[in-house]
Amino acid sequence: MSLNFDLHRWTRDWTAACPLPRLERLRGVAVLLPDNAQVALFRLADDSIRAIGNIDPIGRAAVMSRGIVGDRNGFPTVQSPLKKQAFSLIDGRCLDVEGVRIPVYDTRIGLDGTVFVANSPEIRFGYRPDGFTATLPDAS
């Protein structure tokens, strides 16, 4: 059995955000992805890493990384700093307004402690949808 690992494909799917020690617990940081999408990255109290879209779907501003991290019934949430709606960091549901969602991005920590964020909400570690093509901006 041979394993073929395509490093180029992997780098198209994931963006290195920062070293894990640079993330403060219960604080968010904004990460810019190659397609100019913004992600809010959070280190929770249990040292797990979560990422959601940085654009507040109700207030329409890039502020979610400055939201208040907490929990509801044991599930991690972030509250928008604009109108204080809470969003699940697990599945992106707005817990205060029915039918509103925010994209959730997969995260992982490399062997060297680098935090990576998926370049699309459709990408999960070990899974890539059929027909999905991520592109990086031309480096020239």
pLDDT at 62 over 70: yes
Q: In what side-by-side order are the strands of the sheet with 14-19?
A: 14-19, 114-118, 107-109
Tens digit of pLDDT for each residue in 95-117?
A: 999 999 999 999 999 999 999 99
Q: In a 10 Å sphere around its CB, with 0-12 CB exposed, 13-18 middle and 19+ buried, how is residue 98 labelled?
A: exposed
Q: Is 101 exposed, middle or buried (0-12, 13-18, 19+ CB in 10 A)?
A: middle
Tell me the pTM: 0.82
Nearest alpha-carbon partner for 31 in 7, 62, 76: 62
Overall average pLDDT of the 57-81 stretch: 96
Q: Decide which of 129 and 36 is more confident.
A: 36
- 13: nearest Cα among 5, 2, 1, 3: 5
Alpha helices, DSSP H only, in the chain? 7-13
